[in-house]
Every structure is written in C-alpha cells, then in structure tokens.
C-alpha cells in the first residue's frame, strides 16, 4: 500500500510518502524553493519525495490523500462572501477562478501529473487529529486540535480509541483562537503565521493585566463553547488586514509598524495575548477531560506549537503527546494515516527529509577549497572535537543525516553552543541569527538528566513544551528565558544516536549534558537543507566552526 499525502495553498505546503502505513519520506516545499512558509503547489517536494521513495511514476501510488475537504472549504468561503457581497466581490472572483484549476488539487493531479488513481479528501481537523493521535503510543486519548480555520472548524475535541477517532465537539469559524493570536501578532508588527513565536518570546517581558480585561470583553461563553465578537475583526471579508478601527480603539494603542521600536505597551499586549490564549486553551483542555474518559491528551493544529500553554495541560491529564509537526504540513501525513487500515506503525522519527552521501559532501567541500579548510575525522573524533569546541565557547553549525520535517531543528540541522556562557544568547541573536534580541534559545538535554534540571513530567522529544528550569541547578543563562523558562528537547540514543553521543561527551567535559540548540538558518531564511547551503551560510556569518557529517570545517 503506497500513499502520497499532500497539503498546500494555505501555508507550509508539504508532501509525504507512506508504504504500508510507515512514513518513508516527507518534506516541505519551502526547503526547496527558499520561500519561507511557501504555500504553493509542492512541485519540487513531490518530485523529491517520489524520487527518494523509488517511485518512477505517480501512477504507482495507490492513493493520494489531500489534507482537507476542498468542497466543504469552498462552501465556507462562498457563504462567508455572501454575507458581504459588495465588499468581497473581487475576492470572490479571484477565489472562484483559482479553485477551478490553479488551486484545485484534483485538476493538478489529473491534468498536470497524469494521475489516474484514487484521490481522497480528508477533513482538515481530522487530518490534524489523525497525525497527532496515530503517531502517539496511546491506546486511548482525548484529542484536541486548535488552529486558525480548516473547512469550517477552528477547534475540535475527539476520542481516540484503538485505531478509531470519533469527533465529539467542535467550534466553527469565525470564532477562532488561532485567528485571534495571529491578529495580535500582526497588531504587534510581526508577520501572521510566522511571528507568533515572537509574541510568545516577548510575552514574559510584559504585564498581562494592562490589556487582558479589554481582550476578554470580546469573548462570550455560551455552554461549553466560546464566541468572539466580530465587530473588531475583518476575518470574514479581508485577507490582508485582520482588524479594524474598533479594535484599535478598544486597545487604546495604535498598531506597531515592523520597523518601529518595541515599547513596554507592546510587551504588555504580547503578555495579554499569551495569557488570554492560555485561559481559553485550558478551558478547552478541561472540557476535553470531561468529555473523554482518558488520562492521555493529544494536541494538534498549528496552535500546538504554543509550548507555554501546552505544558499547563498537565493540570487535567497525566500524559501529553504533541507530534513533531502539528500544523498543516504534518496533516499530509495525518490524512494518509487515517486512511491506512493496517496495524499502526512507529512513525515517531522527524528525520524524514533529504540526506547526502559522503561523495556529494566531499565534492561540495572541495569546491570551496580557497575559502575553507576541512578535516575528515572518525565518528569518535568528531564527537570529542565538537564537544570540546562547544564547551570552549565556540558556535558550531551541526549538519547530520536526514533533515527534520517540521519547524524545529532537533539535532540534524542545528546551530549549537554552550548554555553556560552568559553573553552567548546576545551573540547568537545579534551576530549570527541576526534576529530580535528578546527571543530565547532552546536547550537539548540528555533525557535521563532532564528530570534533574527542568520541571518536566515526561520526555519532550520534539521541543514543544516550555517548562521552568529547576532552582538550585547550575545556571544556564544562554537557554534560560527572563521568566526562568526553557523550551526543552530531551534526547535519547534511539531517537538520534550521534546527537545523543555529543551531549554525553559534553556532559563528560563540562559536567552538564545540555547544548543550546537553534535551527540552522538566519532571519527570514528557511532551515538549511544542503551542504552547499550550509557552507554558504557559514561563510556569511560569524559562526566559528561547521560540522557536516564527519567533516570539521573552518574558515581560511
């Protein structure tokens, strides 16, 4: 049974290939085009996935699964346009035209790719739920999905029982926590569907009480659901500006332009945004605990990247699973898993993207021989040398094996540094990552040591929970945020043996098995995919060393 899963046309287009329920490869289109959050038809990702999976012709595939139901989505968009026919006239024409061919997956697959096989459309939130639940180890769970909008739904709660998923609760557009968070992201001068991380990072610098009461006035809670007053927002008729003048008057401060300085009022608004999200999210978590008789919680949808809120869900559940790519790109996998009827496979590895053979890497390195020096070391030597460099204060690019699928670098396309050096955070933000100085960095930690250093309940392999650093442990200023928190990744040998050995060697020489780990990219760039990209970026910044597989690289 060969399946191809595809998501596209909203953000983070992606493709995956499954054989007998096991994910063989998966990749986002942005990694091939260099366009961050590329939402176009994933032509290059599809070509690569088929090639890597040894599929010569798409017609060898038994089923192509699309991550949402296009007819239901079209119904929602048209009905929404009908509320304001004059204001949305040109948007309606544009949408109807593009949905015929340009953004019609069936047309593209049949006419452009010549595919004659089965095409299956899976409801958006069901794809989220399936990816999250069916990649977990649970035999039963409450499944909560939260995002901007699917077809109609913005929130669902489902019951996972064995291989079955039964939806029992939902909230529909335009009442959307995801849209509200993105709106406030835009109001603060950041890019929606991208800058939400910045709002989370900025929030601890502010006082939520300054704006929280104002934001809460837009909510009503009939029964077990929430409603958001639409008089402040343009979600139903404008895809460019998400708020109106009434919202500006409610907040009492003007929207921040991207180039303007961040003032205390902006930090206070970020804090209120995060606090409001946490309150509403935990309300949903509580409802899930009432509706589903399970001590396990599964989270899905783009909002599952809100690690601060995620870690607070233990108030109602004993165990939480959040997959490595809970947003729309991961739903390409979820749609396939839902339709596969065999035994559930182990699909816990995020390392599903391109990898490069030794001869390819050697050839690329040789082409830069006037700009770099390289040393090909043994496995043991490269681990010892890299750990020594990190411990001595060097910033190291770390490029290994298959690229991660998802927005987190989990030890294969990372920039690594010591968490113990006080000015390391500033150096990375200002000189290397070239991004806002308030943004925190995450630690990777040996799983067996993480419970001694951080207040965690269970392993966090995908860096999707923000927890507090334990009091009394050795200070780790480079990875500890202003509020004493850290977005931890726990690492064991089974997940990533080479990265595990590196952390183990760091512990041997420094006394602590923790490394600062941030994605191998700079501001407004996609995560590094190829050895050439890695070397170009290494030469374009003040990173000290680059490790590609077993090659140690330094500048001439």
What pLDDT does 183 receive? Answer: 97
What are all long-range contacts of 446-455, with beta carbons under 8 Å and residues at least 24 apart? 446/490, 446/491, 446/492, 446/500, 446/503, 446/504, 446/507, 446/513, 446/514, 447/490, 447/491, 447/492, 448/492, 449/507, 449/512, 449/513, 449/514, 450/488, 450/490, 453/512, 453/514, 454/486, 454/488
- Shared-domain flag, residues 381 and 485: yes
Residue 249 in domain: yes
Fill in the DSSP letter of residue 38: -
What pLDDT does 85 receive? Answer: 86
The tokens describing 400, both together, are 């290994």
The tokens describing 110, both together, are 């049949």
Buried b (16+ CB within 10 A) or exposed e, 151-162: bbbbbbbbbbbe
CATH number where 542 lies:
3.90.870.20
What pLDDT does 83 receive? Answer: 87
Residue 455 in domain: yes
Residue 101 banded pLDDT, cuts 50, 70, 90: confident
- Shared-domain flag, residues 245 and 281: yes
C-alpha 409/C-alpha 521 separation (Å) is 10
What pLDDT digit, counting tens, does each position of 514-538 carry? 999 999 999 889 999 999 999 999 9
CATH number where 37 lies:
3.30.420.40
What pLDDT does 254 receive? Answer: 97
Global pTM exceeds 0.75: yes
Residue 150 in domain: no
pLDDT at 239 over 80: no
- Shared-domain flag, residues 186 and 124: no
Burial (Cβ within 10 Å: 0-12, 13-18, ≥19) of residue 90:
exposed
Residue 95 banded pLDDT, cuts 50, 70, 90: confident
Length of the chain: 556
Instruction: Using the 3D structure, point to which of 309, 339, 369 is the last residue of a domain.
Output: 339
**Could you give the number of structural domains in the chain?**
3
Cβ atoms of 278 and 309 closer than 8 Å: yes
Residue 423 in domain: yes
- Shared-domain flag, residues 333 and 315: no
Instruction: Using the 3D structure, point to which of 339, 371, 398 is the last residue of a domain.
Output: 339
C-alpha 299/C-alpha 144 separation (Å) is 5
Instruction: Using the 3D structure, point to which of 293, 321, 349 is the last residue of a domain.
Output: 321
The tokens 């958006």 sit on which residue? 124
Q: CA end-to-end span of the chain, whole Å?
A: 51
Residue 137 in domain: no
Cβ atoms of 425 and 441 closer than 8 Å: yes
Bond prior to 174 in cis (omega within 30° of 0): yes
pLDDT at 90 over 90: no
Residue 300 banded pLDDT, cuts 50, 70, 90: very high
pLDDT at 81 over 90: no
C-alpha dist (Å) from residue 399 to 339, 365, 445, 516, 554: 34, 13, 18, 15, 14
Fill in the DSSP letter of residue 454: B
- Shared-domain flag, residues 334 and 443: no
Nearest in space to 467 (alpha carbons), one of 342, 348, 333, 313: 313
pLDDT at 100 over 90: no
Residue 450 in domain: yes
What pLDDT does 154 receive? Answer: 98
What pLDDT digit, counting tens, does each position of 56-76 carry? 999 999 999 999 999 999 999
Q: Which residues pair with 119 in a beta bridge?
A: 64
Query: Which H or E element spans position 506?
Result: helix 497-510
CA 139, 140, 142, 146 torsion-angle sign:
positive
Q: Which residues pair with 140 in a beta bridge?
A: 161
Name the CA radius of gyration of the chain, rounded. 23
C-alpha dist (Å) from residue 484 to 35, 88, 263, 443, 505: 34, 47, 22, 13, 26
What pLDDT does 41 receive? Answer: 97
- Shared-domain flag, residues 309 and 372: no
Residue 466 banded pLDDT, cuts 50, 70, 90: very high
C-alpha 419/C-alpha 507 separation (Å) is 12
C-alpha 64/C-alpha 458 separation (Å) is 36
C-alpha 35/C-alpha 42 separation (Å) is 12
Q: Identify which has the larger pLDDT, 246 or 84.
A: 246
The tokens describing 344, both together, are 């559930």
What pLDDT digit, counting tens, does each position of 470-502 carry? 999 999 999 999 999 999 999 999 999 999 999
- Shared-domain flag, residues 392 and 293: no
Cβ-proximal residues to 85 (8 Å cutoff; 6+ apart), any chain: 92
Residue 347 in domain: no
- Shared-domain flag, residues 412 and 524: yes
CA 15, 17, 21, 22 torsion-angle sign:
negative
C-alpha dist (Å) from residue 284 to 155, 249, 310, 530: 9, 29, 12, 41
Nearest in space to 61 (alpha carbons), one of 73, 49, 69: 49
- Shared-domain flag, residues 430 and 527: yes
- Shared-domain flag, residues 216 and 306: yes
For 380, the domain range is 358-555
- Shared-domain flag, residues 259 and 276: yes
Other CB atoms within a 10 A radius of the CB of residue 497 amount to: 13
- Shared-domain flag, residues 486 and 406: yes
Residue 88 banded pLDDT, cuts 50, 70, 90: confident
pLDDT at 148 over 80: yes
Fill in the DSSP letter of residue 406: S
Cβ atoms of 41 and 104 closer than 8 Å: no
C-alpha 365/C-alpha 163 separation (Å) is 47
Cβ atoms of 132 and 288 closer than 8 Å: no
Residue 154 in domain: no
What pLDDT does 541 receive? Answer: 93
């Amino acid at each position: 049974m060969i399946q191809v899963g595809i998501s596209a046309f909203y953000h983070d287009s992606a493709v995956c290939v499954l054989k007998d329920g096991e994910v063989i490869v998966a990749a986002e289109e942005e990694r091939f085009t260099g366009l961050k959050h590329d939402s176009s038809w994933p032509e290059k990702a599809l070509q690569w996935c088929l090639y890597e999976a040894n599929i010569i012709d798409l017609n060898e595939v038994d089923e192509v699964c699309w991550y949402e139901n296009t007819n239901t989505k079209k119904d929602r968009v048209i009905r929404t346009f009908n509320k304001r026919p004059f204001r949305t006239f040109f948007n309606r024409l544009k949408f109807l035209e593009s949905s015929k061919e340009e953004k019609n997956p069936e047309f593209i697959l049949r006419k452009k790719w010549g595919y004659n096989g089965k095409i299956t459309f899976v409801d958006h939130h069901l794809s989220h739920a399936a990816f999250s639940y069916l990649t977990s180890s649970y035999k039963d769970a409450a499944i909560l999905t939260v995002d901007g909008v699917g077809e109609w739904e913005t929130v669902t709660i489902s019951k996972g029982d064995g291989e079955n998923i039964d939806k029992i609760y939902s909230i529909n557009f335009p009442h959307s926590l995801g849209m509200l968070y993105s709106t406030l992201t835009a109001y603060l001068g950041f890019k929606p569907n991208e800058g939400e991380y910045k709002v989370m990072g900025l929030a601890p610098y502010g006082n939520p009480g300054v704006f929280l009461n104002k934001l809460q006035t837009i909510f009503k809670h009939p029964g077990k659901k929430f409603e958001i007053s639409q008089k402040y927002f343009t979600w139903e008729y404008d895809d460019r500006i998400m708020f109106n003048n009434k919202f500006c008057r409610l907040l009492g401060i003007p929207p921040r332009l991207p180039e303007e300085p961040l003032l205390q009022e902006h930090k206070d608004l970020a804090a209120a945004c995060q606090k409001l999200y946490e309150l509403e999210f935990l309300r949903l978590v509580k409802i899930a605990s009432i509706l589903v008789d399970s001590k396990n919680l599964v989270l899905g949808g783009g909002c599952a990247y809100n690690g601060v809120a995620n870690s607070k869900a233990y108030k109602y559940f004993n165990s939480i699973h959040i997959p490595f790519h809970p947003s729309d790109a991961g739903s390409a996998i979820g749609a396939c898993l839902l339709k596969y009827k065999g035994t559930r496979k182990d699909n816990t590895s995020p390392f599903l993207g391109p990898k490069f053979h030794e001869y390819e890497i050697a050839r690329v390195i040789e082409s830069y021989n006037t700009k770099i020096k390289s040393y090909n070391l043994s496995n043991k030597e490269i681990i010892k040398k890299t750990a020594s460099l990190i411990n001595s204060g060097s910033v190291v690019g770390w490029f290994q094996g298959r690229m991660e699928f998802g927005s987190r670098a989990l030890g294969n396309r990372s920039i690594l540094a010591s968490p113990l050096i006080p000015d390391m955070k500033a150096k990375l933000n200002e000189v290397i990552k070239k991004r806002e100085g308030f943004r925190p960095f995450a630690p990777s930690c040996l799983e067996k040591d993480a419970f001694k250093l951080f207040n965690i309940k269970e392993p966090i392999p995908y860096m999707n929970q923000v927890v507090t650093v334990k009091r009394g442990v050795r200070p780790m200023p480079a990875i500890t945020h202003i509020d004493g928190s850290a977005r931890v990744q726990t690492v064991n040998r089974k997940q990533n043996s080479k990265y595990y050995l590196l952390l183990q060697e760091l512990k041997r020489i420094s006394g602590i098995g923790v490394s600062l780990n941030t994605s191998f990219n700079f501001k407004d760039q996609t995560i590094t995919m190829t050895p050439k990209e890695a070397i170009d970026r290494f030469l374009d910044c003040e990173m000290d060393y680059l490790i590609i597989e077993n090659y140690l690289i330094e500048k001439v």
